[in-house]
Amino acid sequence: MNEGENVFIVDSIPVPICKIVREKSSKIGRENFDKAPDKGYT
């Protein structure tokens, strides 16, 4: 790999990030919305 080369790793298994049931009680990312996890699968 070269220094300017982009490398992407793709995983075919969906991983749950944040369960919708816990959406209101989760404190992750409340202060900084940019770092909050997405809902559902990524």
pLDDT band at 39 (very low <50, low <70, confident <90, very high): low
Of residues 2, 40, 3, 33, the one with CA closest to residue 18: 40
- pLDDT score of 10: 76
pLDDT of amino acid 21: 64
Q: Read off the pTM.
A: 0.24
Q: What band does 5 get if pLDDT is binned at 50, 70 and 90?
A: confident
Query: Where are the alpha helices (H) located in 1-42, listed in sequence order?
Result: none
Q: Report residue 27's pLDDT band, with 50, 70 and 90 as the boundaries.
A: low
What's the pLDDT at 7? 80
SS3 35: helix
Find out whether 19 and 12 touch, Cβ atoms under 8 Å. Answer: no
Q: How far apart are the C-alpha atoms of 27 and 4, rounded to whole Å?
A: 37
